[in-house]
Amino acid sequence: MLSGVVEHRLPLANVLPEPEELAAWTNPLIVARYYRALLDDAGATIAEILAILSDPSAYPAVFHGSAGKDRTGVVAAVLLGILGVPDDTIVADYALSAGAMVRLIAHMHATYPDGSDQLHRLAAAIGAAEPAAMRALLEGLRCDYGSFDGYAAAIGVDTAPRYVREALLV
Q: Is the pLDDT of residue 47 over 80?
A: yes
On whether the CB atoms of residues 104 and 126 are closer than 8 A, the answer is yes
Domains recognised in the chain with CATH numbers: 23-168 (3.90.190.10)
3-state secondary structure of 12: coil
Give mean pLDDT, residues 32-46.
Answer: 92
pLDDT the model gives residue 6 = 87
The alpha carbon dihedral of 41, 91, 100, 123 has a sign of: positive
Cβ atoms of 167 and 136 within 8 Å: the answer is no
Q: DSSP 3-state helix, strand, coil percentages of the chain (rounded to 5)?
A: 70, 0, 30
Confidence band, pLDDT 50/70/90 cuts, at residue 75: very high
Residue-level pLDDT at 16: 61
Cα–Cα distance for residue pair 161/12, rounded to 1 Å? 20
Of all residues in the chain, the percent with pLDDT exceeding 90 is: 56
Task: Report, as an integer, the average pLDDT of 18-25.
Answer: 73
Give the residue among 109, 120, 131 at the shortest CA–CA distance from 32: 131
The residues, any chain, with a CB within 8 Å of residue 17's CB and separated by 6 or more, are 24, 25, 34, 125
Q: Computed from CA positions of residues 104, 110, 113, 116, in that sequence, does the dihedral angle turn out positive or negative? A: positive
CA end-to-end span of the chain: 30
Closest CA to 92 of 138, 144, 38, 52: 138
Phi-psi map region of 106: left, alpha, beta (phi>0 left; psi -120 to 50 alpha): alpha
Give me the chain's average pLDDT, please: 90
Structure confidence at residue 1 (pLDDT): 62
The stretch 147-170 carries a mean pLDDT of 95
pLDDT tens digits for 94-153?
999 988 888 988 998 899 989 888 888 778 877 889 999 999 999 999 999 999 999 999
Question: What amino acid occupies position 74?
Answer: V
Least confident residue range of 10-14, 18-22, 61-65, 87-91: 18-22
**What does pTM read for this prediction?**
0.89
Share of the chain above pLDDT 70, in %: 96
**What pLDDT does 158 receive?**
96
pLDDT for position 14: 67
Cα separations (Å) of 19 from 77, 91, 94, 111, 157? 27, 27, 24, 22, 36
